[in-house]
Chain A
Amino acid sequence: MVSAAILISVSLAGQSEIELNGKIFNSFQEPLGDVAVNYYGSLESPVITDTSGMFTISVPSGEVWLNISPVVGYMEKQVFLNDRKSITIYLVENEEESGYEELDYLGNTYRRRDIVSKINTGLGGDKFSNSYESFDQNLQGKVSGMYQTTFSGMPGSGTYMLLRGMNSINSGNQPLIIVDGIPLENPRGIHSTVSGYTYNPAASIDPTDISDLSIVKDGSALSIYGLKGSNGLIFIETLKPVETNTSIEFKYKLGMSFTPDTIPQLNSIAYKTLAKEILSSSTFKEEEYATSYPGLFYTETDPEYIRYSHNTNWQNEIFKNSILQDVYVSVKGGDDIARYGLSVGYLGHNGVIKNTNFNRVSTRFVGTFNIFSRMRMYVSANLVSSTSKYKESVLGNQTSPILSAFHKSPQMFPKRYDQDNQVLEAIDDVDELGISNPKAVVENYSARNSNYRFLTSFKVEGDISKKVKWNSILGLNINDIKEQIYMPNLGMEYYFDKEAYNVSQSLNNLLFMISNDNYLVFKDQIDGVHTISFRGGVRWQTNDYQEDLGISMNSNENDQYTNLGTGDNQLEFITGLNQKWTWLSNYYTGSYIYKDKYLLDAAISADFSSRVGKEAEGVLKLGGQPFGIFYNIGGAWRISNESFMKDNPTIEDLKIRVNYGTSGNDDIGNNNAFKYYTLQLYRETSGMIPGGFANETLKFETTSQFSTGLDLGIMENRLRFSLDYYNSRTRDMLIFEELPAYMGYEVYPSNNASMSNNGYGFSVNSRVFQKSKLSLDIGISASHYNSVITEMADNEIITNIPGGGQIINRVGDQANSFYGYEFTGVYSSRAVVPAGLVNEKGIPFGAGDAIFSDLSGPDDKPDNVINEYDKIVLGSSTPDYYGGVFMDLRYGRYGLHMHWQFVSGNEIYNHSRYLNERMTDLSNQSSAVLNRWIYDGQETNIPRSAWGDPVGNADFSSRWIEDGSHVRLKNLTLSYTIPEKMLFFRDLDLFVTGTNLLTFSKYLSYDPEFSSSFDPMMQGIDLGLMPITRTVMVGVKFGL
């Protein structure tokens, strides 16, 4: 050892050694002693700082890397000396973000600060997972550039995620989730027959299992994920067993979700007044409707009176506070040869709508094995089984708890009466007003969903040489979803256009996905100043998706047989689907760093997708198969290491990033590019008809993104600031072009559109305060995006949306804008109605009718007819800005975590309010309609009631469009850690946490946040899903 040291010192003697003096502080200027300092490549023992944080070290040149290995509690750091003669180094605490944390990224290890792309890391771990059931919920408002909307308050539901805006209007917009190297399926492909229900792929991962989560918004990663990369990437690693000592973690929480504030509805008296008013506006004669709807006219002497004489708040019948329970145990451990992590979890959460729940049992095993000295193996296996009970949105009509609670007459009572007017336990059947009894909807309607997912990955890593490694990951994803629905007879309206009195329905989805990724990685640092890394490989994936749906109706009036096959065989319905698709990618990426100052990054990939047409133009053909080429080039400049700035102690880091790259989206339909035939029966035989006008030239969408960003760490890195701007452009965007009628097909899938999407996001993170036991961290993020159609064949496409509205995509407008009439009020009297103003049916407007602006006509000028020509853009669900604020206050063993989230300027089509205020039939309505127009001269903004709405007062218009801006206290957690010395085991945390405790919004239905679909066009349409709930939980966590 000594002789070696001599040899080295001799060999170095010829060089000029530099004496370097340095100081090491924490970010609050407190000197740190006992910190080991050395330089890269050194064979000497490290020097140690003294109590004032000072050290002196001899380094061979000014271009070396210093390794700073601090005492427990601080992060390691590598600093490029950069010809400095003296140096001040700040270290940050473990939990803080330093940029020096090492990260497995695209198969190589990088320091976070060396990645040219915009990525957010460190989002996993169980720091905040205490309060969420699905990892994506935890991210809301935290990641700049990521807009998220929670689907609903249904336990286990996830979020609709848009990373850097919307890149497509007909293909999916969701980022690709990659778990332990295996890309998950596109959730848009998983179908459901429950209206409003959205499959959440994230629900099959227990958030506590996630040890690393990174979100990638631009750069090489997007390009090497080629055809799946354009919406961004979310990398998840689970249960990473890093330590060899055995640790056991146990977590338990118990909580309650609270019912939402109910929407005030008309009481019995007001309801009857309205109902009679509506009937009198119909063409029925009074004696007719008095016989048809006797319940509105009974007096106390009538024997049936008691049945119709209540004042029920039906919302109270469907909602109730609900319990949740979450148990989790994990074991990690092993030795140098084999390490493992094993977890078992159970979550049971009832929804606030009665008889809804989500139960998940998950098991996960992760193991790493050093088989030979040069070969390692990683296995991850995850088996999740979840069962849930759902209810439908208002589109489900007879089966929606919310809709039936809104519309059921308050006169009625949930239960039946016997002849002596005694309440029975039995549910009251539907009365002549015809709305399902909400009690029957919540108690007897059932939609059960069971999901088994087996997700496993098997990875082998071998060292080929010192610097080159070979990897192969084989993944298997089996996702089986079964849905069984029973719509009962008793207490319910009839179904399927009133033909069926009960229905049983069964849907099976099975996805079988195999993927494989083989790649080589290389990494080297040359002379301490050149860092090169490279990855190249081939990835393939095959998917087989099968779906079977069976519906059977009218099996038995007594609701006893809830299975398929007992129904009326005239009304049986069976269908199915079997689709297969494949993906192949050959990719290369590499990066180069010079002196911690200049960073360069590049990637290229060639991607095949079976969905792309064989005649696709402008793509590479290999062996006759179409391949898309995607690339990225990016660079970063760390200005803070330039000579003019390197000695400035205030600026820890200043980096400018620029990226330009392309990526694709092959979510263009499995069959759109192929001539195919589809089944249509004629008589008793199977007929096949052409399935559409195939476009054999159809190809993937290509998104090119230019992005630039600035990262700044000042005040000893206590204040970290990041600003990003991006401008992306999707070309060859999939649209369904309208064909001239003589083509014989309505639409034609084509790539004749493009859209541009730009936005910015900034985030600030700071440890504001730290003194002895007290510390405070604050983070803020805010973002904005704009998604505008820039080119489109025929200039515009109008799409009907469920609930009667329309969506327009038009060049120059925000994508997916609402399109309808402009509502400006109500005609107070006959005199103010413009003469001759009629609707599209030729029916004249009168006093009490809605004022719709007559903006145009067939000759481009107002024509006194309110029809299609008068429709305008009414806004879109795209917010002006959104973001979040979070705060961590710690005092010794106490911790307070707070997470706010805000959205501003998004428009919502409040379809559930439309149903609750339109006053066109005998449904009960919200108390807002007390202000309806009743008498001549009345100034109000709620039109008159009218049977069947002949004039169209309730037509889709700005009347139903609302501002969805809101601010929400997403999470508040108070925790306490019991001192170790009091315990036999490692640590014990107690916490109490609340989610969605406060919401500030002007929105008129339950909650402004919801999403009913992964379909980009369905965003911002309130279909009356289970509202997001306030939940409070207490929990305990300890480790052994």
Chain B
Amino acid sequence: MLGISSCEEFFNPTQGLVIQETDFFNDWYDYRSAEMGLYALQQNLAEQLLILGELRGDLLEVTENASRDLIEIQNFKISEFNKYASSRGFYELIAGCNNLQRTLEHYHPEVMSEDGPVTNYDRLYGEIIVMRSWAYFNAVRIYGSIPYIPISLTAIDEIEEFVNSPVTIVDSFDILFAPDGRYNDTIFYDTPITLTSAYLNLDQIVDSCTNDILSNVKVTGVNHYIENGDASWEVTVWNEYAMEYLLGQMYLFQGNLLEADRHFERILSIVDIEADDVRYGLDKTFSKGSWKNILTSINQNEHIFVIWFGKGQHQTNEFQKMFSTVSPNSYELKPTRQAVHNWETNWDGFRYWYSDLTDHSLQALNPSNLGTPGDIYRGANISYAYTKNGIPMSNNEVMEMLELKRDQNDFEVEKIMKGIDTVVYKYTLGKQNDPFARDANFIVARAASVHLYAAELYTYFAWVELGENYVITLELAEQYLNNGFYNGNSDQLGVRGRVGFTDHQDEEIHVPNIVYTRDPFTNEVNGYIDFTGNLAGKQDYLEEQILAERARELAFEGERFYDLMRIAKRRGDNTFLADKVAEKFSGAQAEEIRTKLMNESNWYLPFYLGTAE
């Protein structure tokens, strides 16, 4: 009667270019496509992560071109109409992961068992779990507490009911950590906790996600390199190092330094003993003038996980648009004064006089080695730039200006700096001539960050397996920060060493008992701090130095606000964060922001259920 080929086809016509789920998941390539789709969803998050991680911190601020949404974020006054306030992107990824995990478990149940040879399905399964944990972890850092959706739930009403009903979670890891990362007295194992609804806080999310990864992931990271012939594929998917990084980072934020160390150590350890190859040791690949290549290339010596963008493949982001002054970009965000000072007041090539004075306040710089200001491999024209009508000031001009500053010739400095815009350059680098590029990669994890995390945890981690010797761990921290941990191998440089700040002992950052303080602009020694017998003081000092190094090394990469949060929490001192952030405001607004940020609950965005757009 119907006169068409088949009844089935009439009632369920096949659609082209959108694929119904019932027609999908036939072979490995379908699964891979579905997984690639999840990475595409991650791309959608990059802009939000960067804005929320940096604009709330002390390194980035709005310009007068900024949209309402950006102004709201900077001012910690976030309405439900704000597009950056929406948690939807995270949950789109989470829902996508849940869906693919469920499908995989259904059609390839072998992924759930420990036995059998490792297949690509196993690797895929691992990626999904790690990726989802990353989404949850980032979301909880932003919102403070968020729903954790079990993968078994699919229907809207099921999920709604679950999220809004009280739940009891049995927290097998509910441990409160002391600042040194060791167990504190208040330890509860397997304590059932009743929550009014299924919103978990950071601690609970970290417990759930680490548990999920540790118990379900046997392997992660499909090696697409085999098919694609492009080695950068390895670090643009959630590989094993990326997983370790995420685990380490989650534990670090929880305060579980022991576990954090364990996972970071897997990234920093020797992978090939014979070749003495430390994959993520900071070697010469990106030293000095090559440092900037970190921003323009993808390389397994530095990059651990990168969200890739490519114009030719129509995968773009708005970074360049928000940062660049060159038409048609809109220059909505710029580096703060403090951000720039972090580089400009980093002095190179100076030496102390080192007399045998007992009055330390009389210590001075050696007149023949007063040093030069600026961080030439990471600062001007690399991480940031001074531009006039879109054209950057040259390095020489910047250097000249800094020298004038050193000589306190403010009048000349002001003259030079007239009409100058300060811009974030990191995402424009290598694309200066193409204002339409819009495809800078977003680095989620790289080696320098792990080194600095390691330095940070060794600062506090006053405990080594061999005994109670805190000095050793502080030195470890210094080594990661300065000249590399791997003394036996000259090829291994520390974070500062890589960019030339360890040519002399004095340029390195150390915490001996006497630490000299210097004027940031003239570099003149203007005092000293005596840490003799004051371990806590040394720890705080070193921690701040590490934080400043993070600001130089990792500025605008989306982590700054969480760095401040982590340290403020570790110290139990909200002023730490509040003061730093308030510094970029002026007048009454600075005070208002400071007051606001003294309250930890204002560090988190409200979890709006929907955006009212």
Residues on A lying within 8 angstroms of B by beta carbon are: 283, 285, 288, 497-499, 514, 516, 518, 538, 540, 542, 546, 569-570, 573, 576-582, 584, 608, 610, 625, 670-671, 674-691, 693-694, 738-746, 748, 798, 800, 840-842, 867-868, 948, 950
B10: which A residues are within 8 A, CB to CB?
540, 542, 582, 584, 610
Name the CB-closest residue of B to A497: B328
Cβ contacts under 8 Å, B15 to chain A: 578-580, 670-671, 676
* Contact among B40, B92, B147, B312 with A569 in the assembled complex (CB-CB below 8 Å): B312
User: A744 to B18, Cβ gap below 8 A?
Assistant: no
Against A, the Cβ 8 Å flags (1 = close, 0 = not) of B25-58 are 0000010111111111101000000000000000
Given the complex, which residues of A lie within 8 Å of B147, measured CB to CB? 742
Across the interface, do A688 and B37 meet the contact criterion of CB distance under 8 Å?
yes
* Given A499-B436, A538-B1, A842-B75, A580 contacting B13 (CB threshold 8 A): yes
| B2 within 8 Å of A (CB atoms) | yes
Closest 6 CB pairs of A and B: A578-B16, A744-B95, A687-B36, A744-B91, A580-B13, A689-B37
Number of A-B contacts (CB under 8 A): 194
B186 interface residue (CB < 8 Å to A): no
- Tell me the nearest residue of chain B to A516, going by C-beta: B3
For A691, the chain B residues whose CB sits under 8 A away are 18
**Contact call A745/B92, Cβ cutoff below 8 A:** yes
CB of B315 within 8 A of chain A? Answer: yes
Cβ distance B410 to chain A, nearest Cβ, rounded Å: 21
A680 to B316, CA, bound (A): 12
Chain A residues whose CB sits within 8 angstroms of the CB of B156 once the complex forms: 693, 739, 743, 748
Cβ 8 A contact of A582, one of B13, B99, B610: B13
A682 to B87, CA, bound (A): 22
CA distance A546 to B13 in the complex (A): 14
- Per-position binary interface string of chain B over residues 591-613, scored 1 when its CB falls under 8 Å from any chain A CB and 0 otherwise: 00000000000000001111111
Residue B236 interfacial (CB < 8 Å)? yes
Given contacts A570-B312, A798-B613, contact A688 B11 (CB under 8 A): no
Q: Are B24 and A610 in contact (CB under 8 A)?
A: no
Contact B36 A688 (CB under 8 A): yes
- With both beta carbons as reference points, the residue of chain B lying nearest to A285 in the complex is identified as B419
A690: which B residues are within 8 A, CB to CB?
A: 37, 95-96, 99
- CA–CA, A743 and B160, complex, Å: 8
Q: Does B433 contact A (CB under 8 A)?
A: no
Docked Cα-Cα span, A123 to B593, in Å, equals: 71
Q: Does B16 lie within 8 Å of A577, measured CB to CB?
A: yes
> What's the Cα separation between A746 and B19 when bound, in Å?
20
Q: Given the complex, which residues of A lie within 8 Å of B228, measured CB to CB?
A: 684
- Contact A682–B609 (Cβ < 8 Å): no
**B17/A578 in contact, CB under 8 A:** yes
> What's the nearest-Cβ distance from chain B to residue A428, in Å?
21
What's the interface size class on B, roughly? 35 or more
Residue of B16, B21, B613 near A675 (CB, 8 A) is B21
Report the bound CA distance from A841 to B71 in whole Å: 7
Residues in B neighbouring A748, C-beta threshold 8 A: 156
Q: Whole-angstrom distance between the alpha carbons of A948 and B64 in the complex?
A: 10
Cα A689 to Cα B43 with chains together (Å): 13
Q: Does B345 contact A (CB under 8 A)?
A: no
Assuming the contacts A498-B328, A686-B33, asked whether A542 and B40 have C-beta atoms less than 8 A apart, the reply is: no
B90, chain A: closest CB distance, angstroms:
8
Set of chain A residues within 8 Å of B146, measured between Cβ atoms: 742
Within 8 A of A (CB), among B428-458: 436
Known: A683-B236, A689-B96. 18 other contacts (CB 8 A): A542-B10, A573-B314, A610-B10, A610-B13, A675-B22, A676-B15, A681-B314, A682-B37, A683-B39, A685-B224, A689-B38, A690-B95, A690-B96, A693-B156, A741-B87, A741-B609, A744-B90, A744-B91
B257 at the interface (CB under 8 A from A): no
B296 contacts which chain A residues (CB < 8 A)? none
Alpha-carbon separation in the docked complex, A283 to B313 (Å) = 37
Chain A proximity of B76: nearest CB distance (Å): 12
What are 19 inter-chain pairs, A to B, with CB distance below 8 A?
A573-B314, A578-B17, A610-B13, A671-B15, A674-B21, A676-B21, A677-B34, A677-B37, A678-B17, A684-B228, A688-B33, A688-B36, A741-B87, A742-B149, A742-B609, A745-B88, A748-B156, A798-B612, A840-B79
A674-B20 contact, Cβ under 8 Å, with A542-B13, A578-B15, A683-B233: yes
Check A681/B91 contact, CB under 8 A, given A580-B13, A687-B36, A738-B610. no
Q: B311 in the interface, Cβ–Cβ < 8 Å? A: yes
Cα-based distance from A498 to B321 in the complex (angstroms): 12
Q: Give A584 to B1 CA distance when docked, in angstroms.
A: 11
Q: How far is the CB of A168 from chain B (nearest CB, A)?
A: 22
B440 to chain A, nearest CB (A): 15
Closest chain B residue, CB of each to CB of A544: B13
Tell me the residues in window 363-419 of chain B with beta carbons closer than 8 Å to chain A beta carbons: 419
Question: Within 8 Å CB of A739, what residues of B?
Answer: 156, 610
B113 sits at the interface (CB 8 A)? no
Report yes or no: B308 in contact with A682, Cβ–Cβ below 8 A: yes
Q: Are A682 and B40 in contact (CB under 8 A)?
A: yes
In the assembled complex, the Cα of A608 lies from the Cα of B13 at a distance in Å of 13
Complex Cα–Cα for A684 and B20 (A):
23
A868 to B609, CA, bound (A): 17
Residue of B whose beta carbon sits closest to that of A695: B156
Distance, CA A798 to CA B4, complexed state (A):
43
Given contacts A682-B315, A687-B39, A841-B68, contact A744 B14 (CB under 8 A): no
A867 touches B79 (CB 8 A): yes
Residues of A within 8 A of B94 (CB): 744
The 0/1 profile, CB within 8 Å of A marked 1, for residues 58-102 of chain B is 000000110010010001000101000011101111111001000
Q: A687-B36, A867-B79 are in contact. Are A570 and B311 (CB under 8 A)?
A: yes
Is B12 among interface residues, defined by CB-CB distance under 8 A?
yes
Known: A542-B10, A740-B610, A743-B159. A679 touches B17 (CB 8 A): yes
A689 & B19 in contact (Cβ 8 Å cutoff):
no
- From residue B28, how far is it (CB to closest CB) to chain A in Å? 13
Tell whether B327 is near chain A: CB-to-CB under 8 Å: yes
CB of A425, distance to nearest CB on chain B (Å): 31
B-chain residues with CB within 8 Å of residue A576 when the two chains form the complex? 16-17
Contacts of A670 in B (CB 8 A): 15
Report if A685-B36 is in contact (Cβ < 8 Å); known contacts: A582-B13, A676-B19: yes
**Does B166 sit within 8 A of A, measured CB to CB?**
no
Contact present for A688 and B19 (CB under 8 Å): yes
User: Whole-angstrom distance from the CB of B581 to the nearest CB of chain A?
Assistant: 18
Asked if B95 and A745 make an inter-chain contact with CB atoms under 8 angstroms apart, the answer reads yes
Given that A677-B19, A684-B228 are known contacts, is A744 also in contact with B315, CB under 8 Å in the complex? no
Interface pair B328/A684, CB less than 8 Å apart: no
Residues of B within 8 A of A577 (CB): 16-18
Name the one of A677, A679, A742, A745 contacting B87, with C-beta atoms under 8 angstroms. A742
B176 lies within 8 A of chain A by Cβ? no
- Give the Cβ gap from B112 to chain A, nearest Cβ, in Å: 22
A868 near B88 with CB under 8 A, answer no
* Chain B neighbourhood of A542, CB < 8 A: 4, 10, 13
